[in-house]
Amino acid sequence: MLREQEIGKSGQYPGAPTPSAGELGPSGLLGVLQAFRVPSDFHARYAATSRTYLYRLVTGCPRHDQLSVFERNRCWAVHADRLDVAAMREAAQHLLGTHDFSAFQSAGSPSASSVRTLRRASVSLDPASPLVLPQESRRLQFWSLEFESQSFLYRQVRRMTAILVAVGLGAVTPTQVKMILQSRDPLGRHQTRVAPAHGLFLKSVRFGGLSDLAAGSPDCAQQESQGPGGREAPGSSEDFRLETGGPKAGGQE
């Protein structure tokens, strides 16, 4: 998406250099699915009404360096043959809704408020990875944890993931997760755990009102946006969804 002042009369981005194959990634290919103008006050961070993060786990691998080189930096190899998924899902239910998530926030967060609304938290079994040899995949199980909210605190997703994995390993009970959330204490015994960064991916982002922009409608001046310190704007089934499918960038989760 390009803001109006960034596009010249010809419709071309001014001074845009032609990227080399190396800049486009290992394959040298980059696909643009859709492009359209947005208002000059559009902000890719504050205009988002929903973000979904995906965290990938794998069980059945004794050591991280024994995992396929193609998956080694794309998931967290949990040192266990199995997880109590039913307990993890029960624990995740305690995190849903609007809460003060101070217990799952790392130091250094610039957010003025630690209150967030977690709309969805799921734990699901993934199919065998195509990047792993068949003889290896028989002993491995890949799992996905997904979290959806308008915004997250610093390292909130990785901390919630670590707690849910602890539940899956039997080190923490689902009831304790509720108590940890209510404690608002980020330095407690269990909540200091942080899942490794290499398993975290930003899956998708929703922007309210941009479905009209994509359709070329002029009735798009009003944005469901959030400025610094503003309230969360509700998501909508009509929101424009940007699928990223890439690893998380730095900063807030």
Please report, for the chain, the start and end positions of each structural domain, with discontinuous segments joined by +.
Answer: 48-200
Neighbours of 111 (CB within 10 A): 17
Write down the pLDDT at residue 36.
76
* Contact status, residue 42 vs residue 1, Cβ threshold 8 Å: yes
Q: Under CATH, which number does the domain 48-200 receive? A: 3.30.70.660
CA distance to 17, 58, 206, 209, 232, per residue, from 80 (Å): 49, 9, 35, 44, 38
CB-based burial label for 43 (10 Å; 0-12, 13-18, 19+): middle
**In this predicted structure, what is the pLDDT of residue 20?**
52
- pLDDT digit string (tens) for the chain, length 253 residues: 555 444 444 445 544 555 554 455 555 567 787 777 888 888 888 889 999 999 999 999 887 788 888 898 899 999 999 999 999 999 999 999 999 999 999 988 788 899 999 999 999 999 888 888 887 778 899 999 999 999 999 999 999 999 999 999 999 999 999 999 999 998 888 878 999 999 999 999 998 877 655 555 443 323 223 333 333 433 333 345 555 555 554 446 7
pLDDT, residue 42, reads 86
Residue with tokens 């610093």: 154
